[in-house]
Amino acid sequence: MVAKTTDRAQRGGHSGVSIEDVALAAGVSTATVSRAVRGLPRVSPATREKILGIAEALGYVASSSASGLATGRTKTIGVLAPFVSRWFFSKAIEGADRELHARQYNLSLFNLGGHGSHRERLFSKTMVYKQIDALLVLCMALTHEEIEHLQKIDIPLVVVGGHVEECPYIGIDDYAAAATAVRHLIGLGHTEIALLHGDDETDLNFDVPRVRIKAFQDVMAGAGLNVREEWDEWGDFTVLSGQNAFHRLWDRPGPKPTAIFCASDEMAMGIIFEATRAGVQVPADLSVIGIDDHDFSEAMGLTTVRQRPDEQAEMGTKMLLDELDGIAGSVRSMVAPHELIVRSTTAPPRRAGVVTRTDAAPGAMTAGAAPGG
Amino acid sequence: MVAKTTDRAQRGGHSGVSIEDVALAAGVSTATVSRAVRGLPRVSPATREKILGIAEALGYVASSSASGLATGRTKTIGVLAPFVSRWFFSKAIEGADRELHARQYNLSLFNLGGHGSHRERLFSKTMVYKQIDALLVLCMALTHEEIEHLQKIDIPLVVVGGHVEECPYIGIDDYAAAATAVRHLIGLGHTEIALLHGDDETDLNFDVPRVRIKAFQDVMAGAGLNVREEWDEWGDFTVLSGQNAFHRLWDRPGPKPTAIFCASDEMAMGIIFEATRAGVQVPADLSVIGIDDHDFSEAMGLTTVRQRPDEQAEMGTKMLLDELDGIAGSVRSMVAPHELIVRSTTAPPRRAGVVTRTDAAPGAMTAGAAPGG
DNA sequence: TTGTAAGCGTTATCAT
DNA sequence: ATGATAACGCTTACAA
């Protein structure tokens, strides 16, 4: 015991008071301190109170490394994300954190960088293995190798917002959500509808964009509507890619669509900004609908299909933690709700024959939010 | 050694292969394995290669708890943030992650919830103590008690984006940045300038808003310009608060400003959306400038003063890690650069006598990005 | 109710 | 260059 202090000093002196210090001060064994501070039974109220008081006074906090080593649990769950500053991901992280925080777990963030072959990306079990008790994967495009790695690590796992083969999954029904959006446009009377999807040109496992495309095509076909090859545009879910898509669409000669379905709100905003700048009025000349209900969508009046990544991640985290708590079977796939939110970027198309670029539709605004380029 | 397997099974079986398994398979001691896998010297090339091969084959990954216990370092740094899904914070987290990832550290995220007395908020050393090697605090308003706690934890600490007494700090010169914005407006010829600041009505330690207000007042005074009491509005840095501020400003009778300086881009966007909706043209009727250079600012054409939270956090993280690497004195305060980005939401004021609500200024857009509310 | 002591998987010291 | 071995601080049977 005296030697202890000496040893510690010799080894460079890890700071902090240990369980033994508390035990000594309280005149009990470390085992009792351990039980007391963790609120376990088998400690008399008197000793518990005494120990807690001393622990508090000494500023004792258990070493997570030590208890992790002893129990085999780190009380930390990992969150794997391709981005952190994009809407879906930052919201999801926030949601996961809520649940984690409430249940005294820590959140370890692993940002892998976007999906795409050109990005540097070292994903190995080394990163996460033995550091976390469970893993929440956010809408990642994963290679087969990565998926294998993941599954070898034998910890609870759930993916939010994108399917990964063989893994439990939480997210909206992308097909239904996209179909809802397209039907809204068709219901308004549109027949000339463009698509701005979010495919990335890689071979990665990421089916969200494809599912939304499929829904678009099916609904259009189901309504007997023509899908024009040249109105099929793509982006990478960002505002900028939406802006670029607008120009590709409008700079090309030929007829223009009266509505466009965008696979994300951010791309929809890009369309709107550039449309405005080009003198194309929304929704008079062009109806725009997205998917997400981004933080800015309400302010912009964007019609969209809402989803709540925070709630999805919160639910996923809850499942993970329940599983760790011994409730086997807690982790399972689940579909999250979506909801059509009609605002003011969608309206019936102008009647045919009306000149497209001059007068505003009744009630439409004329001031500019995207001041001269 | 044979007993080992048995023990493990008895105790519930922590999975995974240990250093001893590798040592056994390689016919060397655990000490040698430890040196080999960590790339330390004093291992012959031959044995090293052999060990590495076996480790790889067995899928060995060192237990972070065990090495954490042995070394006293967790190889993870904590990031404390009041929000994660707001621009500044998500960017900062991304920046911190870059540096951390590059140097093989983990990032543990602690989301404390916004500053403000009504929010539930349990911040104690318990949260972070003995779990992290260093702490990066993101622009938090901290109570005195919290600051004390922080300082008692004797680990490297740096705060990014907001001053905390006695702590090393990295961030832009808020006074200069705000002054730059206001001078730009004045340089354009504006004299009727409103302020949308971001004060929160709490007693917390958070001086960024106050510094920006002071700069506004000083520059106005220095230019001999009048600061109107009723043009002093506040928000909480969000788009919505900017929208609300616009209405408070415009719904009141009396003269209107020709320009407004907003303490953040998001609030500036709120102003622009509502101005547009109300038929107030930007920049013809109202010039708007913000601070940040938010992701959407370029798309919106927003004039602003750019700052780079990711780089600030990256720098802060680098300092922290250098300090941990034994380079004493690495952690120190530093001012990050800012830069005026002139886009298209600022222009000279209309000349007096011109009717305010009818015709657009030459070249200004007339289409609406905020379709009929 | 409390204590004893054997792990947990590494690292680091000191021999060899 | 390599190996024994004692920490590291905590948990948890099991004994008392």
Q: What's the pLDDT tens digit per position in A200-222?
A: 655 455 778 788 999 999 999 99
B192 CB-contact burial (10 Å; exposed 0-12 / middle 13-18 / buried 19+): middle
Residue B11 included in any domain: no
Distance, angstroms, CA A147 to C1' D8?
Answer: 35
Q: For the segment B118-149, what is each residue's pLDDT rounded down to a tens digit?
A: 344 556 677 788 999 999 999 877 777 888 88
Specify the pLDDT at position A145.
Answer: 80
Residue A317 included in any domain: yes
What is the mean predicted confidence (pLDDT) over B238-263?
96
Q: Which amino acid is at B131?
A: Q
Asked if the model's pLDDT at residue A2 lies above 60, the reply is no
B362 CB-contact burial (10 Å; exposed 0-12 / middle 13-18 / buried 19+): exposed
Residue B371 included in any domain: no
Residue A280 included in any domain: yes
Could you tell me how far CA A180 lies from the centroid of its own chain?
21
Cα–Cα distance, A177 to A307 (Å, whole number): 9
Residue B117 included in any domain: yes
What is the mean predicted confidence (pLDDT) over B253-278?
97
DSSP output for B248-287: HHHHSSS---SEEEESSHHHHHHHHHHHHHTT--TTTT-E
The position carrying tokens 């680990």 is B155
Give how far Cα A127 sits from Cα of A85, B75, B128, B209, Å: 21, 12, 21, 39
Q: Which amino acid is at A137?
A: V
Angle at alpha carbon of residue A228, lines to A222 and A232, rounded to 5°: 100
Do both B153 and B235 map to the same domain?
no
| CB of A29 within 7 Å of some strand C atom | yes
Cα–Cα distance, A54 to A48 (Å, whole number): 10
Q: Which nucleotide minimizes the distance between its C1' and the CA of A69?
A: C8
Angle at alpha carbon of residue A176, lines to A171 and A182, rounded to 5°: 130
Specify the pLDDT at position A347.
Answer: 98
Q: Which among B106, B300, B347 has CB closest to A370?
A: B300
Distance, angstroms, CA B14 to C1' D3?
Answer: 27
B326: left (phi over 0), alpha (psi -120 to 50) or beta: left
Q: Where would I find the beta strands (DSSP E) of chain A?
A: 76-81, 106-111, 134-138, 157-160, 169-172, 193-197, 232-234, 259-262, 287-292, 303-306, 334-336, 339-341
Across-strand partners of B172?
B336
Among A111, A160, A97, CA closest to B93: A111
Angle at alpha carbon of residue A199, lines to A194 and A205, rounded to 5°: 150
Q: Where would I find the beta strands (DSSP E) of B71-184?
A: 76-81, 106-111, 134-138, 157-160, 169-172
Do both B126 and B164 map to the same domain?
yes
Among chain B residues, the shortest Cα distance to A360 is held by B367
Specify the pLDDT at position B225.
Answer: 96
Specify the pLDDT at position A142.
Answer: 76
Percent helix, percent strand, percent coil in chain B, to nearest 5: 40, 15, 45
Could you tell me how far CA B28 lies from the centroid of its own chain?
48
Say how many C-beta atoms besides its own lie within 10 A of residue A171's C-beta.
Answer: 22
Distance from CA of B125 to the nearest CA of A (A): 8
Residue A11 included in any domain: no
- Entry pTM: 0.90
Protein-contacted positions of strand C (CB under 7 Å): 1-13
Which CATH number is B226's domain given? 3.40.50.2300
- Lookup: tokens for B259: 């320009």
Do both B179 and B220 map to the same domain?
yes
Across-strand partners of A134?
A77
* A84 contacts B93? CB cut-off 8 A: yes
| CB of A11 within 7 Å of some strand D atom | yes
β-strands B334-336, A232-234 pairing: unpaired
Say how many C-beta atoms besides its own lie within 10 A of residue B204's C-beta.
Answer: 16
Distance, angstroms, CA B187 to C1' D1?
Answer: 73
Q: Which of residues 64-123 of A touch strand C (CB under 7 A)?
A: 66, 69-70, 72
Residue B119 included in any domain: yes
Among B174, B179, B343, CA closest to B269: B343
Asked if the model's pLDDT at residue B24 lies above 70, the reply is yes
Do both B109 and B99 map to the same domain?
yes
A9: left (phi over 0), alpha (psi -120 to 50) or beta: alpha
A38 CB-contact burial (10 Å; exposed 0-12 / middle 13-18 / buried 19+): exposed
Do both A33 and A107 map to the same domain?
no
Distance from CA of A244 to the nearest CA of B (A): 11
* B94 contacts A85? CB cut-off 8 A: yes
| CB of A43 within 7 Å of some strand C atom | yes
* B125 contacts A59? CB cut-off 8 A: yes
| Phi and psi at residue B130, to the nearest 5° | 65, 15
Q: For the segment A102-131, what is each residue's pLDDT rounded down to a tens digit?
A: 999 999 999 887 554 334 455 667 778 899
CB B76 within 8 A of CB B44: no
CB B216 within 8 A of CB B195: yes
- Lookup: tokens for A201: 């040109």
Specify the pLDDT at position B125.
Answer: 74
- Please list every residue in chain B whose beta carbon sits closer than 8 Å to the beta carbon of residue A344: 370-373
Specify the pLDDT at position A200.
Answer: 62
Specify the pLDDT at position B114.
Answer: 59
CB pairs under 8 A between A and B: 239
Do both B190 and B303 map to the same domain?
yes
Which CATH number is B62's domain given? 1.10.260.40
Say how many C-beta atoms besides its own lie within 10 A of residue B71's C-beta.
Answer: 13
Specify the pLDDT at position A126.
Answer: 75
* B276 contacts A368? CB cut-off 8 A: yes
- Indicate the number of domains in chain A: 3
Cα–Cα distance, A71 to A63 (Å, whole number): 12
Do both B235 and B260 map to the same domain?
yes
Among B365, B16, B361, B134, CA closest to A154: B16
Cα–Cα distance, B161 to B308 (Å, whole number): 10
B200 CB-contact burial (10 Å; exposed 0-12 / middle 13-18 / buried 19+): middle
Q: For the segment B347-358, what is each residue's pLDDT rounded down to a tens digit?
A: 999 875 444 443
The position carrying tokens 């993970």 is A320
Across-strand partners of B194?
B260
Among chain A residues, the shortest Cα distance to B97 is held by A111
Mean pLDDT is highest, among A139-153, A357-371, B285-299, for: B285-299
Distance, angstroms, CA A69 to C1' C16?
Answer: 31
Which stretch of A243-247, A352-356, B46-50 has the lowest confidence by average pLDDT? A352-356
Protein-contacted positions of strand D (CB under 7 Å): 1-13
DSSP output for B63-92: -HHHHHHHHS--SEEEEEES-SSSHHHHHH
Among A118, A280, A81, A126, CA closest to A204: A118
Cα–Cα distance, B373 to B357 (Å, whole number): 18
* A66 contacts B300? CB cut-off 8 A: no
Distance, angstroms, CA B263 to C1' C9?
Answer: 52
Which stretch of A76-85, A358-367, B215-224, B287-296 has the lowest confidence by average pLDDT? A358-367
Asked if the model's pLDDT at residue A294 lies above 80, the reply is yes
Asked if the model's pLDDT at residue B206 lies above 60, the reply is yes
Do both A207 and A282 map to the same domain?
yes
Q: For the segment A157-184, what is each residue's pLDDT rounded down to a tens digit?
A: 999 998 888 899 999 999 999 999 999 9
Do both A219 and A344 map to the same domain?
yes
Do both A213 and A344 map to the same domain?
yes
The position carrying tokens 């090495």 is B67
Angle at alpha carbon of residue B342, lines to B340 and B346, rounded to 5°: 120
- Please list every residue in chain B whose beta carbon sits closer than 8 Å to the beta carbon of residue A69: 63, 65-66, 68-69
Cα–Cα distance, A168 to A361 (Å, whole number): 48
Residue B132 included in any domain: yes
Within 8 A by CB and 6+ apart from B65, the residues are: A64, A65, A66, A68, A69, A74, A130
Do both A233 and A283 map to the same domain?
yes
Do both B146 and B202 map to the same domain?
no
Cα–Cα distance, B183 to B345 (Å, whole number): 15
Among chain B residues, the shortest Cα distance to A67 is held by B65
**Which residues form the domain of A279?**
174-307+338-352
* A61 contacts B64? CB cut-off 8 A: no
CB A57 within 8 A of CB A88: no
Q: Which nucleotide minimizes the distance between its C1' and the CA of B70?
A: D8
Cα–Cα distance, A28 to A47 (Å, whole number): 9
Q: For the segment B141-200, what is each residue's pLDDT rounded down to a tens digit?
A: 777 788 888 888 889 999 999 888 889 999 999 999 999 999 999 999 999 999 999 876
| Phi and psi at residue B111, to the nearest 5° | -100, 110
**Rg of chain A in Å (alpha carbons):** 27
* Stronger pLDDT, B152 or A359, i.e. the higher one: B152
